Structure 1
Amino acid sequence: MKTDEESHKPSREKAITYCKDLIEYYKSCRKKFRNAWYGSQAATVILAAATPVLILGNAPKVLQAIPPTLASITGGLAVFRWQENWIIGKSTQEALEAELIAFEIGVTESYRVSEDKAVDNFITRINTLHLAQVKEWSVIITRNKLLLKNSEDGKDNPEESTAQG
C-alpha cells in the first residue's frame, strides 16, 4: 500500500512540471522580445548614422534615401512594444520562479497545509500569475488595435473614439 506522501507525489510533480514549463515559456518569450527590441533599436541608430555618410560621400540619391527609409521603418516597429513585453515576461518569469521556490520549501502559510491543499494553492497561484500575464497581453493587443483603428479613422486620441462609440 502507498504511503500518504507517495499517493500525492504525481500531483505534486505535475504541478512543479507545469510551473517549470511556464517558466521556460516566459524565458523564451522574454528573450525573443528583448532581442527584437535591441535589434530594432540598433538598426534604427545604424541606419540613421549611415545617412549623413552617404550624403557626404556623394552617393546616388536613391542610395541616400534607403537608410532613412529603413530607419523610419525600424523605428516604427516600436508599436509592437517589445520592450514592454520583455519586461512583462521577465516579471512573470521571476514571479513564477519565486512561487516555485516558496512551494518547494513551504515558506508561506498557503504551503504549510496538507499536501493536497498545498498543491491546490500552488496551482491556483501559478494560474493566477499566468492568466494575469495573458490578460495584460490582451490589453496591449486591444490598445494597439484601437490605436490602429484611430489612425485609420484620422483620430489622434484613443479615449475620444471610445467615448464616442
Structure 2
Amino acid sequence: MFILKLLEYLLAAAFVCAGIVLTVYADNKNLLISGIIALTILSFLFLFNRQLFQDSQNTAYRYSIIKKAELYSYLLNNSNSVFDSNQIVPAREKALQYCQDLIDDYKKARNLSRNLYYVLQISTVILSGITPILVLVDKLEAGQAWLKWLPVICPAIASIVASIVTSFPFQKNWVAANTTLELLEAEQEKFILGVTPAYRCYDLSDTSQQQQKASQAIEQFIVQVNNIHLQQVQQASEVQQEKKESEKTNTNNSETDDKS
C-alpha cells in the first residue's frame, strides 16, 4: 500500500505541474491540447490508483479482523475446539467488525473536532493579534483603499470565529469521542485476548461448555459495546437538551426585560 500511496502523491504533483504549465503557456495551442490530454490521463490514473488503494486497504482491514478473531483459538489447549471447526470464528468476526466500525467513526469525529478546535482557536488569536498592527497601517498613507477596511474586517472575522467556538463545543466533543474511543479499544482487546472472566473459555475442557461460553462471550461483548456507544449518545443528547433549555431561558429573560 505504501507504493500505491506514493504513486498517488506523484500523480497529484504531476497534475499540479501540468496545470501550472498550461497556465503559463496558455497561448500555445499545441501545448494546450497536449496539456489537456495529459491532465485527463493523469486524472484517470489518479482515480484508478485511489480505488486500487481503497480496495487494498479494505482487504488488509478484513485480514486484520480475521486474524483478531482467530487469535483467541491459540489459547485453547483442545485441538478439537469450537474455534477449529469454524463455528464461532465468523460470529467473532462480525462482533469485532461492528466494534471496529464504531472505533473508526469515533476516530474521525475526534480528529475532526480536534482539528476544528485548534484551527478556530489559532485563527482567533492571529486575527486578534494583527488588529493593532492594521490600525497603525491604516494611519499610514499607503495609497491602497483596501487597507482601510482591514482594521474593520479582521476584528469582525475574529468575533465570528470566537462565536463559532463558543456555540459549538468542539473541545467537549473531542474529549468525549476520545474517551469513548479508548473504552471501545480496551473492550475490544479484552474480548480478543479473553482476559476477563466474561470472555474467557479456554480454561474449560468440555467442547460443549466452550461453545456455550464462547457464544455468551460474544453476546456479552456486543452488549458492552452498545452500552459504551449508547452512553456517549445519551450524553450528547443531554448536552443538546441543556443547550436548548439555556437558550429558552435566555429568551424568556430578554422578553421579561423588554416588558419591564
- The interval holding the TM-score normalised by the smaller chain is 0.7 to 0.9
Are 2:109 and 1:29 equivalent residues in the alignment?
yes
Matched with 1:121 is: 220
2:126 aligned partner, one-letter code? I
Matched with 1:83 is: 171
**Distance of 1:96 and 1:72 partners within structure 2:** 38
Larger Rg: 2
**Distance of 1:71 and 1:151 partners within structure 2:** 24
For residue 57 of structure 1, report the CA deviation from its aligned partner: 1.1
Runs (4+) of structure 1 moved beyond 4 Å? none
3-state secondary structure, aligned to 2:195: coil
For residue 50 of structure 1, report the CA deviation from its aligned partner: 1.6
**Distance of 2:236 and 2:117 partners within structure 1:** 17
Q: 1:49 aligns with which of 112, 129, 142?
A: 129
Q: 2:189 aligns with which of 82, 87, 101?
A: 101
TM-score if structure 2 supplies the norm length? 0.56
Are 2:222 and 1:142 equivalent residues in the alignment?
no
Matched with 1:162 is: none
What RMSD in Å do the two structures reach over aligned CA positions? Answer: 1.8
Residue ranges of structure 2 left out of the alignment (5+ in a row): 1-79, 140-146, 202-212, 255-260
3-state secondary structure, aligned to 1:57: helix
3-state secondary structure, aligned to 1:58: helix
For residue 151 of structure 1, report the CA deviation from its aligned partner: 3.2
- Alignment: residue pair count: 154
For residue 94 of structure 1, report the CA deviation from its aligned partner: 0.6
Q: Relative contact order (C-alpha < 8 Å, sep 6+): which is higher?
A: 1
Q: In structure 2, do the counterparts of structure 1 residues 109 and 3 end up closer, same or farther at CA, with 3 Å as the change threshold? A: closer
1:79–1:144 CA contact under 8 A, matched in 2: no
